[in-house]
Amino acid sequence: MTIPTEFLTFAAVGALAQLVDGALGMAYGVASAAMLLGLGVPPVTATASVHQAEAFTCGASGLSHWLAGNVRWPLFWMLAIPGVIGAVVGAAVVVHVPADWMRLALTPYLLGMGVFLLLRGARGRPPGPDVPRGTPVLGLGAGFADAIAGGGWSALTVTTLVARGATPRMVIGTVHLAKCVVSIAASLSFLLLIGLSHGAAVLGLVVGGVLAAPVGAVFARRMPARVATVLAAIAVLGLGVNNVIRAFD
């Protein structure tokens, strides 16, 4: 039996995206959505497919982080519950709001936060609280933005929480576990709105991401906090610059 080339391509992309996402706490959704859009998949369908895949990959990644000791439960609940509300609302309006608008709106935040994290990583800073103030509002906004743009949950939550002094590996692990719940809520909403399509892409992203999830969790646990902060800054700056380039295409 020959495995379709399309499936293998999506599986490879899912594995690579999950390795980066598991270690730094971001980039899986953005990378996957960008790839689907590049292949000509409509924005709404691309967003739905990514969330359907993330319901599985983030579950595997979140479980791996939990087993690795990278989860703080109070922070999880403060992110997950508002995040679900934001994701459901975002999925309900995504049909009427172009995804490029949301990406463009997030770009100044991503660029600014990337510079801030670079400076913070270079100087170092005493640890802050496990659950920074304003976390529920952050979860609500990130869930909404993620459903609209096909990515953004991790970029918004990880960078903001790390910038406020939370321990990077705990933030990364908790954000991944919360993302699983948020993705399930978004997936169910998209299923009701547009149904299921591009099954090969979803299945490939799921298989590749699930296989790579444990490796990413180990990276996050063993990576020094300052290194994780600097790498997260570089990643989020890359996302911001990518948004700027796409805006002028």
Chain Cα centroid distance, residue 114: 16
Amino acid letter for position 109: Y
CA gyration radius, the chain: 16
Tokens of 229: 């902060």
Q: Which residue has the tokens 């439960």?
A: 73
> Which pTM was predicted?
0.71
What is the mean pLDDT of each successive set of 10 residues along the chain, which is 249 residues long?
71 74 64 65 73 80 85 93 94 74 66 68 58 87 82 80 83 89 88 73 79 72 67 69 70
Classify the phi-psi angles of 165: left when phi > 0, otherwise alpha if psi is within -120 to 50, otherwise beta: left
Tell me how many degrees the CA angle 152-59-70 measures, rounded to the nearest 5.
80
128 neighbors 164 (Cβ within 8 angstroms): yes
Boundaries of domain holding 57: 5-247
pLDDT at 1: 55
Cα separation of 220 and 93, whole Å? 34
Q: Per-residue DSSP letters for 158-206? A: HHHHHHTT--HHHHHHHHHHHHHHHHHHHHHHHHHHH----HHHHHHHH
Chain Cα centroid distance, residue 37: 17
pLDDT at 79: 95
| CA torsion, ordered 229, 117, 31, 73, to nearest 10 deg | 60
pLDDT at 98: 66
Helix, strand, coil percentages in the chain from 3-state DSSP, rounded to 5: 80, 0, 20
Cα separation of 27 and 232, whole Å? 10
Cα separation of 108 and 135, whole Å? 20
**Number of domains into which the chain is organized:** 1
pLDDT at 174: 92
